Chains A and B, each alone.
Chain A
């Protein structure tokens, strides 16, 4: 599938899809979206890139093995879940929110970090599965 059209398009689509995935991640608290869908869109971006440019190029672009994103994401989600216990003596997974909204992003709370953890885990799992299958194929 190394056509020049796809290759040129994928260079532009990769950043656009990644930004779109982050948009989906951020809007997910009250509206459809969130870490899971955002993570899937981000992995689609990398899968498309690997279709156009070959798997080794995508791996070089990622630098780290995608499987390594799983423990990082889990750790992030874990920390955001236990933060209320450690810092505020509130039950596990209670949402902690900043009082003042930030421009563009809105109010930031521990739920956002949980979603970012989910995002990273989904990217890690999906890319590990797809890369492993396409390597052995």
Chain B
């Protein structure tokens, strides 16, 4: 049974969505199933992670077809870490959404689709086949398109059109890149591709294919010239949906980049320079974009873009320290961005608006909630010893030792601009004198909710803040995980061996 452990997270999500579809009309059942399923999912993911941690990379050959021919599911430390983080975000968001999203939206199949989204995310992290990765991307795209339009408000549809057009373009480019790669090598298995791409003599063609992949994943990850869909769409759906989008969706693009550019296209000078330029510009433009926004959730959307730059920079520097920094930042970022969007949803429920200028006096009204939010915001900025601080040290020291002053400047600039933005939010939302807002009729203000609903909204934020605190104070353990991931990514021989030499234990 443990041999199949790699695909249990996938099977669990699929099973949950099917069960949820059976109870299509019973929203109260769906809430319970989704939250209980979330706990089970965390247990399974911890099991997977600890198993991988002790026994190294594990594989499952779907359908018992041997490795380069069938679809392989691979769990190395990187995949297992991300599956665990997906489980954590999934649980908190299903709790948060069961309290904060109105029943009128939930009854159009919110929870089944939400678990299909988690299925797609887990699949993308666990697959070892490049075409299968594309299929999981499509599952993510289709489920997220349903989630973003659910409710059918005008702004939502407008955001969804932008979201869908650019992402489908990204998928098409990704698919084209796969086709070219298949034409070059005749294989789709990533481990097999790693061996075959290295043998191709026409390096120009390999570089062009790599750039196609870079564009495809770049649109998903929202890097510099390709990010315009993100701030236009992430603030439109309910904040629970934005939380899972902001926490995980762009990170799948980053994951795919880290995987493909360490395993298949081992970076040469041209690729590294392209990635570094993109990272620098992403850091600068994302930060500047966040500075001028007034809608709280748009600010956070631009911050997502800005902070994607850190991870891309880590990939571009391409040393073990830098990639460990990128992985650490990825772990921190998934937790903190999910938390930020839930916080924006909480503030929206308290105040009834998203406009930063019209808010104020939150600290005077509810000091406990403000304190909670302060921890999350400081973690985002990276005030030592909170979680955002440690990965930046690795990234900065890596870029210092590479003597790449542009990236040093970009990282410092993005950090300071994040600090300025958070200070601005703090001053306006929490410390400014209270502005009397017109009361909105039929709006479910936070103080009108029942205690259970309140705790379902506050609980996830407390939990994620604790996780952030753990990442900050237990940085040594996270650093161990990140270094091991970086080591596995850069010395990809053990990944290839785990996938391709699995044939003898089939039978």
B53-97 vs A, CB cutoff 8 Å, 1 = contact: the mask equals 000000011111000000001000000000000000000000000
A14 proximal to B (CB < 8 A): no
B145 proximal to A (CB < 8 A): no
At the interface, is chain A mostly helix, strand, loop or mixed? Answer: helix
Contacts A78-B15, A82-B11 known; A91 to B21 CB distance under 8 Å? no
Cβ-defined contact, A92 with B21, below 8 A: no
Shortest distance between the CB of B465 and any CB in chain A (Å): 36
B104 proximal to A (CB < 8 A): no
Cβ-defined contact, B4 with A92, below 8 A: yes
Which residues of B in the span 472-490 have a Cβ within 8 Å of any Cβ on A?
none
B14 proximal to A (CB < 8 A): yes
- B7's contact among A67, A74, A78, A92, by CB below 8 Å, is which? A92
B39 proximal to A (CB < 8 A): no
B452 proximal to A (CB < 8 A): no
Interface size class of B (residues with CB under 8 A): 10 to 19
- A70's contact among B15, B21, B63, by CB below 8 Å, is which? B21
Cβ-defined contact, A71 with B4, below 8 A: no
CA gap between A117 and B355 in the complex, in Å: 48
A85 proximal to B (CB < 8 A): yes
At the interface, is chain B mostly helix, strand, loop or mixed? Answer: helix
CA gap between A93 and B15 in the complex, in Å: 15
Shortest distance between the CB of A125 and any CB in chain B (Å): 12
Cβ-defined contact, A85 with B4, below 8 A: yes
- A89's contact among B1, B15, B17, B62, by CB below 8 Å, is which? B1
Interface size class of A (residues with CB under 8 A): 10 to 19
CA gap between A94 and B66 in the complex, in Å: 12
- B18's contact among A78, A92, A95, by CB below 8 Å, is which? A78
Q: Which residues of A contact B24 (CB under 8 A)?
A: 67, 71
Cβ-defined contact, A94 with B64, below 8 A: yes
A75 proximal to B (CB < 8 A): yes
Shortest distance between the CB of A109 and any CB in chain B (Å): 12
CA gap between A74 and B64 in the complex, in Å: 22
CA gap between A95 and B63 in the complex, in Å: 7
Q: Which residues of A contact B405 (CB under 8 A)?
A: none
The closest CB in chain A to the CB of B112 belongs to A71
Cβ-defined contact, B4 with A78, below 8 A: no
Q: Which residues of A contact B17 (CB under 8 A)?
A: 74
A19 proximal to B (CB < 8 A): no
A36-62 vs B, CB cutoff 8 Å, 1 = contact: the mask equals 000000000000000000000000000
Cβ-defined contact, A94 with B21, below 8 A: no
Q: Which residues of B contact A70 (CB under 8 A)?
A: 21
- A78's contact among B3, B14, B73, by CB below 8 Å, is which? B14
Q: Which residues of A contact B60 (CB under 8 A)?
A: 91-92
- B4's contact among A67, A91, A95, by CB below 8 Å, is which? A91
Shortest distance between the CB of A63 and any CB in chain B (Å): 17
Q: Which residues of B contact A95 (CB under 8 A)?
A: 63
Q: Which residues of B contact A94 (CB under 8 A)?
A: 63-64
| A interface residues with partner B (beta carbon < 8 Å) | 67, 70-71, 74-75, 78, 82, 84-85, 89-95
In the A-B complex, the 6 residue pairs with the closest CB atoms: A71-B21, A94-B64, A93-B63, A74-B18, A71-B22, A91-B64
| B interface residues with partner A (beta carbon < 8 Å) | 1, 3-4, 7, 11, 14-15, 17-18, 21-22, 24, 60-64, 73
Given contacts A84-B64, A91-B62, 17 further A-B contacts (CB under 8 A): A71-B21, A74-B18, A74-B21, A75-B18, A78-B11, A78-B15, A82-B11, A85-B1, A85-B4, A89-B1, A91-B61, A92-B4, A92-B7, A92-B11, A92-B62, A92-B63, A92-B73
